[in-house]
Amino acid sequence: MYDALRGRYRFACPTQGRTSVALSAFRRLDRLPGSSHPAAYRVTFACPCGGEHAGLVSHDELDWAPLGLSAGTFVNLMTSRVGDAGAELGDLAASRIQAGEWPWSLFCFPEGRPRPVFPSAFWLLAGGPRGSVGLAVRCPSCARVSVNLVSAPHVDVPFHNDREVGVLEFVLGADLEAIVDEFRTELYSSGFDARRMSIGETG
Ligand SMILES: [Zn+2]
Ligand SMILES: [Zn+2]
């Protein structure tokens, strides 16, 4: 499902058969009710064929696979031994997190500060102005939804955190389905303000 070498998720496409997309091509994530062990998410993604399709992703694939935790086996060319790439990459990710770096981050507007997040906290994504990605995220700390404008690598590359992100300067309404429409409209509004992200920086 997750292709660790290419950093993409593989899905079925009704017209092309198979396809693969980066996390930033996801458009909506909904946790399936009653699927706690393991949790599963229904995702909608923008396919290279031009359509939007639905697929299923497990919690592990969302949050841990991009960190290399299910990369499988590899051949070590120096020793010609077969190793477990998943374990080694996972250790590296774990040590970076312990050193205070975060694989993904959000600027929480209600709290007025950056917060670490995992992709399972992402809710809505859409293409924004000038190649940016609009991201509506449920903050794991305060449970409210903030909208950030970020670069694609901020979403797709673990530990790549934009130094500055656009933050929509109001809290979207309480009607969840109304937010979906409001979200895409607001991405092209002038309601964004640049905020510095201090996650992962020293000092
Ligand atoms: Zn397709
Ligand atoms: Zn928050």
Q: What local confidence, expressed as pLDDT, does residue 35 receive? A: 66
Q: What local confidence, expressed as pLDDT, does residue 98 receive? A: 79
CA–centroid distance, residue 181 to ligand 1 (Å): 23
- Residue 198: name the closest of 107, 133, 128 by CA: 107
CA–centroid distance, residue 135 to ligand 1 (Å): 22
The ligand whose atoms approach the alpha carbon of 18 most closely is 1
Q: From CA 188, how far away is CA 203, in angstroms rounded?
A: 34
CA–centroid distance, residue 13 to ligand 1 (Å): 4
Q: From CA 24, how far away is CA 17, in angstroms rounded?
A: 21
pTM for the structure as a whole: 0.85
CA–centroid distance, residue 52 to ligand 1 (Å): 7
Give, for all 203 residues of the chain, the pLDDT tens digit. 888 888 899 999 999 999 999 999 999 999 998 766 778 999 999 999 999 999 999 988 898 888 876 545 454 445 555 556 556 666 778 778 878 888 999 999 999 999 999 999 999 999 988 899 999 999 999 999 999 999 999 999 999 999 999 998 877 766 777 788 888 888 888 788 888 887 544 33
CA–centroid distance, residue 180 to ligand 2 (Å): 19
Exposed (0-12), middle (13-18) or buried (19+): which is 109, by Cβ within 10 Å?
A: buried
